[in-house]
C-alpha cells in the first residue's frame, strides 16, 4: 500500500470514528448501552411497547435492555417509550397524535418513541348483565338495545391489551424496528424476518407519522380478539391495524336492529315491522325486519340516535343499517310502490332504505351536527338512491371495496356515485378477504390481489376514513390463527401497510417481500404469486391453471432447499392441497349427468294456459325430479317436458303434485319480487355454449324472477319469458316459453333472452329443473339432476339438453 493511500484511509477511518462519536449506541458489540424508560404506571399499550422493543432488540443483537421507570445513572443512552415525566421534561408530547399516529425523536443520548396511549374503559351502562340493561332502560326511558357492545370481545389476555386501547407508542416502537429492517409478514415466528446486528446506534431522527386511514379494522370478525393467540394478536398490532373507535363506532353493521330488536318493542309496536304474507316479520332473523314507512319506527330511530349521542359524548357514529338479508319490500299499504324493481336486485330497495336513513340523519343533524349516521351500500340497496340527490351532511356511507376483478368496474362506478352524494370524508369502505376459506369451490386457492389493494386504497385516500374487512380469526396454532393466513398474509400485510401510506410503490413493497421472505426462491415465488394473482379466478373453472400453480410452487420449493424459506413454502404446498379435489372434479367434467330430450313443435300450437293437457304436449318425453341431495324419489312428485319451438324458443311444461294444495305457499304475485324465494317455487337453471348461466324462478301464481348468474346475481337480465300457471286439486302446473337468440338473429342484446343456438348433440345446453316445496319448517328440494348438496347452483351437475 502506498503512503498517500494509507494517509487517505487513515483520515477516512478517523472521520468515521468522529461521526460515530456524534451518535450514541443503544447496543454495542452485543452489549446493552441503553435502558428502556416508561412511566411509573403506564397504560397497557405503553407497557407492551416496552416489552416488544426489549424482545426485538434482543432478537436482533443478543443484548437485553432493561425496562425501567427512571433512567439509569451509569447507562449511556435512554429510550423513552410513551409519555412520562422524562418526555415532559424534554417537551416531546403526544399532542395532536390521533388514531395511532406517533413521533420518533432522537437527541444526544436519547431516543423518544411516543404516541397517544390510553386504556379503554367500557363506558357507563355498557351491558354486562341484566342490572345494566335495567339502568340503561331507566336512563333512556325506552326499550332500545345499547349499541356499545363491541368491546366485549376486544380484550386479549394473551397479549395483555384491549383492541380499543389507544396505542400510538406501540406503533412508534414497531416503526423504529421496521427501520432496523424487522418485518412481520405473517403471524408466528416463521412469519417474521429479523436481521442480525451487533451494534445499534441512535440515528438522527425527528419524525411524525400519521396513518392515511384512521379506521383500520381488518381481521376482526368480531368478537375475535379475546380468543386469538398471542402471536395472532401481536401480528395485527405489529402491522398497525386498529379499529379506532374514536373515528367510527362498531355498531354500524345492521345498527337499526338496536332500535327494534327488543322483545318489548315487538310486543308493543308490531306496526314497526314489515308485513309479509299478512303477517308482521317480528321474529325473522331474530330482530325482525322493519317497515320503513312506519312513522313510529322513524321517530323511535331519531330518539334513539339522539339519546345515544347524549349519553356517550365521545361516540362518533350511530348505525342505521337494516337487518341482514333485508331483500323484500314490506307489503303494507304505506310501503306500496316504494321499491324500484327496475333497478335490479342491487337497487330494488335503494330509494326505500336510503331515504329512511337520510330522513333520520336530517332530524339528528338538528341536535347533533357533529355526529354521523351510518349505513352501508349493501344487499338490496347497494346502488345509491335516485330519490336523494345529496345526503344530509351527517350521513356516513360504507361503500364496497373493489378488489375482485369480476365486479371491480361496477363497484367503482357505485362508489363514485355515492361520493357525489355524501359530504367530503363521510365514507368508509367494507368487504371481506374470505376467498380461501373452507369453501367448496375456493378452498386452498391462492387468492392474491396486492395490486388491486394498492390501486384501490390509493384511490380511496382522502375520500374514506378507512375500512372494515372481514377476515375470520379462529382458534389454534399461530399459523392457523388468521383466516387462510398462508395466502391471506400477503393481502393483509399490503392492506395494512397501505393504511399507513397509500402512496407507496407496490412493486417495491412486493420486491422486498419476495427477497426477505423467500430468500433464494424469491424469483420463483414472485412468478408463482404473480401467476396466481392473474389467474386465480380461472382456477375455479379449469384444471390447467391449478396444475400450473402446483408446478410453480413445487419449483420454488426445490430452489429454497432445507431452509426457513423452504419451510414457508411447505406451508403453502400444504395449504393448496384441497385444490386437488376441485381439480379432479373439473377434470371429470360433466361425465355421468342425466340427459333430457326436447321435442320440436310449432310454437303457435301451444295454448298458454298453464295446463298440460292439450295435444301440443302429447308424445313429448317426460322426466321426473329426484331428491336434491340423495337422488331418491321425493315425497311430492314433479315431472317436466321440454319442447324446442320453431320460433327459436325453449318451452317447459312442469307439473308439481301436491297433496296439500290449500297449504300452497305463494309469497308474491309480482314479477322480480325477491319474496318469491320464501314460498313454493320451481327453478330453471340454463346454460348454453354461449352463456353460463341463467336462473329463472317461478311460482303457482305465475310470478317470476329471472337472473343472470354469470358473475354473481344480475337481475338486469330479462328472459322475456311468457308464463302461465294452473292450479288443480292435487297439483299445480306451468307452461313457460323463453325466447332464445344468437348472433345470426342480429343485434344480440346480452340483457335480453337466452343467448344460445338450438341445443344439439355436440353443442348441448346444460340445465336443471328444481323445485322447492315449503310447509312450515319442512322444506323439500328436488332436481332433475341431483347436486348431492343443499345447493341448486352446481353447474357441473347440470343435466344435458338436446333437441331430438
Site for Zn ion, rule CB under 5 A: 291, 293, 330, 332, 334-335
Q: What is the nearest approach in angstroms of Zn ion to the Cβ of residue 703? A: 20
Q: Which CB sits closer to Zn ion, 293 or 685?
A: 293
What are the angstrom distances between the C-alpha of 106 and each of 29, 113, 179, 562? 21, 9, 14, 41
Instruction: Residue 380: name the closest of 440, 428, 427, 327 by CA.
Output: 327
Q: Which residue has the cell 389467474?
A: 535
Q: Which CB sits closer to Zn ion, 334 or 412?
A: 334
Q: Which CB sits closer to Zn ion, 356 or 493?
A: 356
**CB within 8 A of 24, min separation 6: which ones?**
33, 34, 76, 77, 108, 109, 201, 202
Q: How many other C-beta atoms can be found within 10 angstroms of the C-beta atom of residue 676? A: 24
Q: What is the nearest approach in angstroms of Zn ion to the Cβ of residue 262? A: 20
Q: What is the nearest approach in angstroms of Zn ion to the Cβ of residue 290? A: 8
Q: What is the nearest approach in angstroms of Zn ion to the Cβ of residue 319? A: 21
**CB within 8 A of 236, min separation 6: which ones?**
219, 228
Q: Which CB sits closer to Zn ion, 293 or 782?
A: 293
Instruction: Residue 115: name the closest of 90, 136, 87, 139 by CA.
Output: 87
Q: Which CB sits closer to Zn ion, 187 or 293?
A: 293
Inter-residue contact 606 to 735 (CB < 8 Å): yes
Cα 595 from Cα 801, distance rounded (Å): 6
Inter-residue contact 268 to 108 (CB < 8 Å): no
Q: Which CB sits closer to Zn ion, 213 or 356?
A: 356
Q: What would the grid cell of residue 502 be? A: 397509500
Q: What is the nearest approach in angstroms of Zn ion to the Cβ of residue 292? A: 7
Q: What is the nearest approach in angstroms of Zn ion to the Cβ of residue 296? A: 11
Q: Which CB sits closer to Zn ion, 290 or 466?
A: 290
Q: What is the nearest approach in angstroms of Zn ion to the Cβ of residue 329? A: 8
Inter-residue contact 35 to 68 (CB < 8 Å): yes
Q: What is the nearest approach in angstroms of Zn ion to the Cβ of residue 220? A: 35
Q: Which CB sits closer to Zn ion, 112 or 275?
A: 275
Q: Which CB sits closer to Zn ion, 335 or 459?
A: 335
Q: What is the nearest approach in angstroms of Zn ion to the Cβ of residue 282? A: 13
Cα 139 from Cα 157, distance rounded (Å): 32
For 246-272, give the DSSP string. TTS-TT-TTTTHHHH-SHHHHHH-GGG
DSSP reduced 3-state for 625: coil
Q: Phi-psi category of 285—alpha, beta or left, where left has phi over 0 and alpha has psi -120 to 50?
A: left
Q: What is the nearest approach in angstroms of Zn ion to the Cβ of residue 294? A: 6
Cα 584 from Cα 210, distance rounded (Å): 49
Q: What is the DSSP letter of 654?
A: E
What are the angstrom distances between the C-alpha of 400 and each of 150, 542, 770? 22, 28, 32
Q: How many other C-beta atoms can be found within 10 angstroms of the C-beta atom of residue 136? A: 21
Q: Which CB sits closer to Zn ion, 668 or 782?
A: 668
Q: What is the nearest approach in angstroms of Zn ion to the Cβ of residue 464? A: 33
Backbone angles phi, psi at 502, to 5 degrees: -85, 0
Q: Which CB sits closer to Zn ion, 339 or 346?
A: 339
Cα 175 from Cα 360, distance rounded (Å): 42
Question: What size, in residues, is the chain?
Answer: 804
Cα 348 from Cα 380, distance rounded (Å): 6
Q: What is the nearest approach in angstroms of Zn ion to the Cβ of residue 260? A: 13
Q: Which CB sits closer to Zn ion, 54 or 358?
A: 358
Q: What would the grid cell of residue 729 be? A: 286439486
Which secondary structure element, helix H or strand E, spans residue 395, and what is its range?
strand 395-400
Q: Which CB sits closer to Zn ion, 291 or 700?
A: 291
Instruction: Residue 38: name the closest of 118, 107, 112, 93 by CA.
Output: 112
Q: Which CB sits closer to Zn ion, 92 or 291?
A: 291
Instruction: Residue 33: name the closest of 41, 42, 24 by CA.
Output: 24
Instruction: Residue 574: name the closest of 451, 480, 508 by CA.
Output: 480
Q: Which CB sits closer to Zn ion, 229 or 340?
A: 340
For 404-438, give the DSSP string. -TTTHHHHHHHHHHHHTTSPTT-EEEEEE--TTSS
Partnered with residue 697 across adjacent β-strands are 683, 705
What are the angstrom distances between the C-alpha of 423 and each of 30, 152, 253, 522, 527? 55, 32, 20, 45, 43
Q: What is the DSSP letter of 191?
A: G
Q: What is the nearest approach in angstroms of Zn ion to the Cβ of residue 335? A: 3
Percentages helix, strand, coil for the chain (3-state, rounded to 5) are 35, 25, 45
**CB within 8 A of 119, min separation 6: which ones?**
43, 44, 45, 162, 165
Q: Which CB sits closer to Zn ion, 218 or 353?
A: 353
Q: Which CB sits closer to Zn ion, 337 or 747?
A: 337
**CB within 8 A of 21, min separation 6: which ones?**
none
Side-chain-side CA neighbours of 620 within 13 Å: the count stands at 25
Cα 781 from Cα 132, distance rounded (Å): 46
Q: Which CB sits closer to Zn ion, 291 or 490?
A: 291
Which parts of 658-690 are beta strand (E)?
Answer: 681-688
Amino acid at each position: 500500500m502506498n503512503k498517500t493511500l494509507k494517509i487517505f484511509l487513515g483520515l477516512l477511518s478517523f472521520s468515521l470514528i468522529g461521526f460515530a462519536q456524534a451518535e450514541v449506541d443503544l447496543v454495542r458489540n452485543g452489549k446493552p448501552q441503553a435502558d428502556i424508560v416508561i412511566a411509573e404506571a403506564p397504560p397497557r399499550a405503553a407497557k407492551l411497547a416496552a416489552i416488544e422493543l426489549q424482545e426485538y432488540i434482543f432478537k436482533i443483537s443478543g443484548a437485553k435492555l432493561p425496562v425501567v421507570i427512571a433512567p439509569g445513572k451509569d447507562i449511556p443512552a435512554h429510550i423513552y417509550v410513551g409519555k412520562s415525566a422524562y418526555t415532559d421534561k424534554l417537551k416531546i408530547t403526544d399532542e395532536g397524535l390521533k388514531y395511532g399516529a406517533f413521533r420518533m425523536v432522537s437527541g444526544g443520548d436519547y431516543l423518544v418513541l411516543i404516541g397517544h396511549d390510553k386504556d379503554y374503559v367500557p363506558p357507563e351502562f355498557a351491558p354486562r348483565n341484566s342490572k345494566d340493561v335495567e339502568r340503561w332502560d331507566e336512563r333512556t326511558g325506552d326499550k332500545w338495545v345499547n349499541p356499545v357492545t363491541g368491546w366485549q370481545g376486544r380484550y386479549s389476555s394473551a397479549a395483555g391489551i384491549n383492541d380499543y386501547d389507544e396505542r400510538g407508542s406501540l406503533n412508534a416502537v414497531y416503526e423504529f424496528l421496521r427501520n432496523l429492517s424487522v418485518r412481520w409478514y405473517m403471524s408466528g415466528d416463521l412469519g417474521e424476518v429479523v436481521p442480525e446486528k451487533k451494534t445499534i446506534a441512535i440515528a438522527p431522527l425527528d419524525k411524525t407519522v400519521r396513518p392515511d386511514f384512521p379506521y383500520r379494522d381488518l381481521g376482526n370478525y368480531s368478537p375475535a380478539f379475546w380468543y386469538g393467540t398471542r402471536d395472532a394478536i401481536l401480528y395485527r398490532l405489529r402491522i398497525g391495524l386498529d379499529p379506532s373507535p374514536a373515528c367510527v363506532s362498531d355498531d354500524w353493521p345492521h345498527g337499526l336492529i338496536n332500535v327494534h330488536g327488543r322483545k318489548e318493542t315487538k310486543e308493543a309496536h308490531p306496526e314497526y315491522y314489515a308485513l309479509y304474507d299478512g303477517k308482521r316479520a317480528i321474529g325473522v332473523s331474530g330482530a325482525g325486519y322493519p317497515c320503513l314507512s312506519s312513522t313510529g319506527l322513524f321517530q323511535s330511530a331519531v330518539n334513539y340516535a339522539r339519546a345515544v349521542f347524549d349519553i356517550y359524548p365521545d361516540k362518533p357514529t350511530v348505525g342505521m343499517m337494516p337487518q341482514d338479508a333485508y331483500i323484500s319490500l314490506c307489503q303494507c299499504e304505506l310501503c306500496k310502490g316504494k321499491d324500484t324493481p327496475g333497478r335490479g336486485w342491487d337497487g330494488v330497495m335503494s330509494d326505500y332504505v336510503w331515504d329512511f336513513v337520510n330522513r333520520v340523519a336530517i332530524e339528528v343533524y338538528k341536535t347533533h351536527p357533529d355526529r354521523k349516521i351510518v349505513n352501508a351500500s349493501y344487499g338490496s340497496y347497494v346502488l345509491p338512491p335516485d330519490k336523494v340527490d345529496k345526503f344530509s351532511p351527517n350521513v356516513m356511507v360504507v361503500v364496497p371495496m373493489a378488489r375482485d376483478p369480476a365486479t371491480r368496474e361496477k363497484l367503482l362506478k357505485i362508489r363514485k356515485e355515492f361520493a357525489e352524494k355524501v359530504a367530503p370524508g363521510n365514507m368508509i369502505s367494507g368487504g371481506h378477504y374470505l376467498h380461501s376459506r373452507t369453501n367448496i369451490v375456493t378452498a386452498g386457492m391462492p387468492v392474491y390481489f396486492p395490486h388491486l389493494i394498492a390501486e384501490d386504497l390509493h384511490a380511496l385516500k382522502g375520500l374514506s376514513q378507512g375500512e372494515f374487512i372481514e377476515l375470520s380469526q379462529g382458534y389454534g396454532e399461530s399459523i392457523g390463527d388468521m383466516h387462510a393466513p398462508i395466502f391471506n398474509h400477503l393481502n393483509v400485510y399490503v392492506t395494512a401497510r397501505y393504511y399507513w401510506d397509500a402512496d407507496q410503490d407496490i412493486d417495491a413493497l412486493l420486491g422486498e417481500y419476495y427477497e426477505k421472505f423467500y430468500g433464494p426462491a424469491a424469483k420463483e415465488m414472485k412468478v408463482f404469486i404473480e401467476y396466481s394473482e392473474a389467474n386465480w379466478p380461472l382456477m375455479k373453472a379449469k384444471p390447467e391453471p391449478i396444475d400450473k400453480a402446483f408446478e410453480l410452487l413445487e419449483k420454488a420449493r426445490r430452489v429454497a432447499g432445507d431452509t426457513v424459506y423452504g419451510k414457508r413454502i411447505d406451508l403453502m404446498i400444504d395449504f393448496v392441497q384441497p385444490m386437488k379435489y376441485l381439480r379432479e372434479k373439473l377434470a371429470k367434467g360433466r361425465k355421468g349427468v342425466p340427459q333430457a330430450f326436447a321435442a320440436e313443435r310449432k310454437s303457435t300450437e301451444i295454448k298458454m294456459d298453464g295446463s298440460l293437457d292439450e295435444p301440443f304436449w302429447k308424445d313429448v318425453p317426460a322426466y321426473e325430479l329426484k331428491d336434491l341431495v340423495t337422488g331418491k324419489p321425493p315425497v311430492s312428485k314433479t315431472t317436466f317436458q321440454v319442447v324446442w319451438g320453431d320460433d327459436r324458443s325453449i318451452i317447459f311444461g312442469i307439473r308439481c303434485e301436491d297433496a296439500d294444495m290449500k297449504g300452497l305457499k305463494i309469497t308474491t304475485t309480482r314479477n322480480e319480487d325477491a319474496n318469491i324465494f320464501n314460498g313454493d317455487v320451481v327453478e330453471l337453471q340454463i346454460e348454453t355454449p354461449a352463456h353460463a348461466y341463467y336462473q329463472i324462478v317461478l311460482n303457482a301464481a305465475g310470478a317470476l324472477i329471472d337472473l343472470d348468474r354469470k358473475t354473481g346475481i344480475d337481475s338486469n337480465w330479462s328472459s322475456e319469458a311468457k308464463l302461465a300457471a294452473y292450479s288443480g286439486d292435487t297439483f299445480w302446473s306451468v307452461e313457460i316459453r323463453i325466447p332464445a337468440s344468437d348472433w345470426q338473429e342480429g343485434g344480440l342484446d346480452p340483457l335480453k333472452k337466452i343467448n344460445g343456438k338450438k341445443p344439439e348433440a355436440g353443442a348441448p345446453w346444460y340445465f336443471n329443473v328444481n323445485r322447492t316445496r315449503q310447509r312450515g319448517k319442512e322444506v323439500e328440494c328436488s332436481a332433475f339432476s341431483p347436486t348431492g348438496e343443499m345447493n341448486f347452483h352446481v353447474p357441473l351437475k347440470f343435466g344435458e339438453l338436446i333437441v331430438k
